[in-house]
Copies of this chain bind each other. A is one copy, B any other.
Amino acid sequence: MAKDFVKREENYSEWYNELVVRADLAENSSVRGCMVIKPYGYAIWEKMQHTLDAMFKQTGVQNAYFPLFIPKSFFEKEAEHVEGFAKECAIVTHHRLAKSPDGKGLVPDPEARLEEELIVRPTSETIIWDTYRKWIKSYRDLPILCNQWANVVRWEMRTRMFLRTAEFLWQEGHTAHETSQEAEEETIKMMHVYADFAEKYMAMPVVRGVKTANERFAGAVDTYCIEAMMQDGKALQAGTSHFLGQNFAKAFDVKFLSKDNKLEYVWATSWGVSTRLMGALIMTHSDDNGLVLPPMLAPLQVVLIPIYKTDEEKQMIDELATKIQQELKSKDITVKYDDDNKTKPGWKFNEYEFKGVPVRLTLGARDLKEDKIEVFRRDTCEKLLHQTEGICEYIEQLLKDIQDNLFKKALTLREQKTRKVDTWEEFKTEIEKGGFLLCHWDGTTETELKIKEETKATIRCIPLDNPQEEGKCIYTGKPSRQRVIFARNY
């Protein structure tokens, strides 16, 4: 049991912040709103990256890299985009430091003021479509399917590690197509890639849906998304995929000669997930004993800890540990034998438990005399004794079981906390309890904003393949043909 560690029930928000730091995932830096991602946290992010990268490439996407800076004027070209992104941003105005006239320190050199300010990219549609203009002449040049792994900056006023930071890491895919249909298919395809990743690797169930006009990406025609529910019942937008229509092609004059020999504007999509997924991962599975990781994303899947008194016992355990390690490695399972004698077994138990290592084997001299090994699984915190014989096959299966169990547990929670609400009075009470509320809505931004103002709840999405049913808007009573998901969100 982790000492002095706040419980989720007491203060969920503090629990999260403390967990991030104590599990060595990240910490705040000296730069306001920017975090340091520590090696253990970064190792999880790398696993996410590698998996997603392979999934993208499987669909034909290639990686590329576009500039960090975007000329200010580029934002002015797409009217909605500028409203959404060019507000709170980091603005580079000078390119040299000079000694201060008073001799104390350095100041931006007034002689080195940029003619046009540069914005540190909050997202890269503008600079990329400025580039695509040079790449696209004819339908033969299409589609273009590019992705970049990059850092972006949005000057957030209130920040929380992984969930909302001024600088964050992400990937942004930007594709260009001949037809509206092809672009929309790409948009939806990438949403499914994200959903599959979330469910299979993160063990995090998600709702696939489309955003309302009000929650849409600035400059998009449609925004598809995956929405997850955290343990406190709040929603977290885990990934978005945007159908951009011809908006950016028009803003940056990107045309192609079609098969019919006509000049037409190119159709676009963009899609991204970020280090925010780390926050989602943490809040979906972790508990009052610390981090819980799904085996498929755990940097370390199995840890072996020896308990012994004599050198003879140690030697026997060493031999067994070597054998187990070899066998697990041959099954592509990452394993560490921690026989460091500077710390005691009890301390190690707490440490690996807090860091969410899925399986711990205790190689105890006493148990081994009976040919048994103690197995601890982090998801349920259950312990059992298993025969030494066949232990590796058992662990291989156990890791799969843990992965499945985490998904099912999260899904059960989401199902429990998802319910239909049909009256405004009920809505106001229920929203306080958290979770997803399935409600009728009259389809207007006006109503959506009023509901948000009164309850802080937003429409997370209109689920895809939503059942159609007649109903009345919970707020205005106007007719509606489907329920949408309302929730408070991160």
Contact = CB atoms under 8 A, between A and B. Distances in A.
Interface stretch (A7-15, A28-36, A389-397, A434-442): A28-36
Interface stretch (A66-74, A233-241, A420-428): A66-74
Contacts of A105: 72-73, 76
A174 to B, nearest CB: 12
A347 interface: no
A95 B86 contact: no
A105 to B, nearest CB: 5
How many copies are assembled? 2
Contacts of A89: 95-97
A62 B90 contact: no
A169 B74 CA distance: 23
A479 interface: no
A250 interface: no
Question: Of A39, A71, A155, which is in contact with the most chain B CB atoms at under 10 Å from its CB?
Answer: A39
A239 B153 CA distance: 29
B29 A42 contact: no
A95 B91 CA distance: 6
Interface in A118-135: 118-120, 127, 130-131, 134
Contact of A36 (B64, B74, B88): B64
A133 B106 CA distance: 24
A90 B69 CA distance: 10
A45 B148 CA distance: 13
A342 interface: yes
Interface string A87-112: 11111111111000000011010000
Contact of A62 (B42, B87, B119, B134): B42
A97 B106 contact: no
13 contacts: A27-B134, A29-B130, A30-B127, A30-B131, A34-B68, A37-B64, A38-B64, A42-B62, A75-B97, A82-B106, A90-B95, A91-B97, A140-B342
Q: Would you list the 8 A-B pairs with minimal beta carbon distance, nearest first?
A: A34-B67, A39-B62, A37-B65, A91-B94, A95-B155, A31-B67, A93-B93, A90-B92
